């Protein structure tokens, strides 16, 4: 069984029972001119994840292993957007890439480099966590996955919320440091530390080349 050199200790996994989760790699969060940048954020902190994630996807897919993508967003009538989230502004307003975080809009979709394949699941989620108000639990059960490799943006928001939700549901999560990004370098560092602290309180942390090497070794 592959073992990845990770923090706080090696992460062992059966590839046949592990799914790769790619969280919210959407144009509105990642591209210059998008929603994220319009809030004053440095999107380069996020876009640096695209290249390693693209390489990981190629490797993961070459073994025929399952990939699950998520997108944060809402129905065009915003009926699934909690009032508190709506009151903060932005959601549903016209942005550079269409209505912000509204399903079907250009900015809501995943960046070209990481486009899902036909047979890969895409989960549309209204919240930060990928389990809340989605079919993710059923999808994971159907795949027979027991562990998750977690990537995407942002580290301390949707990645953290999802890893915490997954941990409470009994899934061990390996978070890949070079494939998750925060607009804030400090949150990136502390966010990763929080996951692996206290003997993997929420999960494990490694980088993608280490995971890819572990996959290659087990061949």
Residues that bind ligand TIU (CB under 6 A): 24, 29, 72, 128, 153-154, 157-158
Residue at shortest CB range from ligand TIU: 158
Catalytic residue among 81, 158, 173, 179: 158
Among candidate residues 3, 16, 30, 32, the one with its CA nearest the CA of residue 151:
30
Query: Least separation, in Å, of the C-beta of 31 and ligand TIU?
Result: 14
Q: Which is nearer to ligand TIU, 8 or 106 (CB)?
A: 106
Contact by Cβ (8 Å): 43, 30: yes
Cα-Cα-Cα-Cα torsion 80, 82, 87, 88, nearest 10 degrees, comes to -100
> Rounded to 5 degrees, what are φ and ψ at 216?
-70, -35
- Three-class SS state of 185: helix
Query: Least separation, in Å, of the C-beta of 130 and ligand TIU?
Result: 9
Query: Least separation, in Å, of the C-beta of 145 and ligand TIU?
Result: 21
Q: Which is nearer to ligand TIU, 13 or 131 (CB)?
A: 131
Query: Least separation, in Å, of the C-beta of 131 and ligand TIU?
Result: 14
Catalytic status, residue 24: yes
Catalytic status, residue 125: yes
Check the CA dihedral 201-130-93-106 and report its sign.
Answer: positive
Among candidate residues 36, 126, 47, 39, the one with its CA nearest the CA of residue 86:
126
Cα-Cα-Cα-Cα torsion 206, 207, 212, 218, nearest 10 degrees, comes to -20
Q: Which is nearer to ligand TIU, 13 or 183 (CB)?
A: 183
Catalytic status, residue 158: yes
Query: In whole angstroms, what is the distance from residue 158 CA to residue 163 CA?
Result: 8
Q: Which is nearer to ligand TIU, 66 or 129 (CB)?
A: 129
Catalytic residue among 28, 81, 125, 147: 125
Query: Least separation, in Å, of the C-beta of 61 and ligand TIU?
Result: 23
Catalytic residue among 24, 28, 109, 178: 24
> Rounded to 5 degrees, what are φ and ψ at 116?
-65, 150
Q: Which is nearer to ligand TIU, 87 or 219 (CB)?
A: 87
Catalytic residues: 24, 125, 158
């Amino acid at each position: 069984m592959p073992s990845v050199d990770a923090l706080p200790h090696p992460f062992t996994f059966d590839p046949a029972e592990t799914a790769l989760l790619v969280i919210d790699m959407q144009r509105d969060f990642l591209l210059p001119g998008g929603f994220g940048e319009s809030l004053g954020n440095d999107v380069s902190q996020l876009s640096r994840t695209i290249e390693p994630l693209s390489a990981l996807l190629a490797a993961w897919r070459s073994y025929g292993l399952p990939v699950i993508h998520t997108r944060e967003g809402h129905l065009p009538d915003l009926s699934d957007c909690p009032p508190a989230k709506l009151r903060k502004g932005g959601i549903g307003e016209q942005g550079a890439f269409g209505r912000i975080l509204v399903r079907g809009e250009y900015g809501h979709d995943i960046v070209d480099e990481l486009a899902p394949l036909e047979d890969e699941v895409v989960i549309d989620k209204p919240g930060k966590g990928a389990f809340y108000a989605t079919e993710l639990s059923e999808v994971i059960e159907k795949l027979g996955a027991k562990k998750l490799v977690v990537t995407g943006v942002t580290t301390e928001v949707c990645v953290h919320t999802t890893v915490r939700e997954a941990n409470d549901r009994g899934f061990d999560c390996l978070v890949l440091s070079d494939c998750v990004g925060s607009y804030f370098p400090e949150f990136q560092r502390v966010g990763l530390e929080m996951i692996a602290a206290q003997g993997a309180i929420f999960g494990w942390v490694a980088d993608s080349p280490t995971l890819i090497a572990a996959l290659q070794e087990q061949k």
